[in-house]
């Protein structure tokens, strides 16, 4: 019984870290939350942390980094870019779009929505929903 409880605690403790884009975190930022940025938290931005934005870090925004928003970069918002929010673009937020934030949409932030920022929320918010 002790082992079962221990395993369950570890699984629930690790889920927030696995479920979010820590560079653009959406969710509960309090202790134990998916966006907790304290030392050891899933969104910790210190050297070696999962949200470190320095050279070589997972959230580095310079040329070649995962958050680079220049032409050709993974965070480019212009026409044809991965974050293009024009009609038909991958970040379009109009009704039926992949970043729609109205009731029932993939970026809905109300109670029960995938991007709800209250306790227990934010664990399934798509990264396009920044």
Pair 122, 35: CB distance under 8 Å: yes
- pLDDT for res 16: 43
Q: What is the pLDDT of residues 16-31, one digit of tens each?
A: 444 467 888 877 889 9
- pLDDT for res 13: 44
Q: Which residue has the higher pLDDT, 17 or 46?
A: 46
- pLDDT for res 124: 81
Give ∠ CA 103-28-75 in degrees, rounded to 5. 75
Q: What is the pLDDT of residues 103-116, one digit of tens each?
A: 999 999 898 888 88
Enclosing H/E stretch for 17 = helix 2-18
Owner of token pair 């038909």? 88
Owner of token pair 């969104």? 43
Percent of the chain with pLDDT over 70: 83
Q: What is the pLDDT of residues 50-98, one digit of tens each?
A: 999 999 999 999 999 989 989 999 889 889 888 888 999 988 999 999 9
């Amino acid at each position: 019984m002790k082992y079962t409880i221990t395993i369950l605690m570890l699984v629930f403790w690790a889920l927030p870290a696995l479920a979010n884009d820590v560079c653009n975190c959406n969710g509960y930022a309090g202790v134990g939350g998916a966006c907790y940025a304290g030392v050891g938290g899933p969104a910790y931005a210190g050297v070696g942390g999962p949200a470190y934005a320095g050279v070589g870090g997972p959230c580095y925004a310079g040329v070649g980094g995962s958050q680079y928003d220049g032409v050709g970069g993974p965070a480019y918002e212009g026409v044809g870019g991965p974050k293009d929010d024009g009609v038909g673009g991958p970040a379009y937020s109009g009704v039926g779009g992949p970043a729609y934030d109205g009731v029932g949409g993939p970026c809905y932030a109300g109670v029960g929505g995938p991007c709800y920022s209250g306790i227990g929320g934010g664990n399934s918010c798509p990264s396009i929903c920044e």
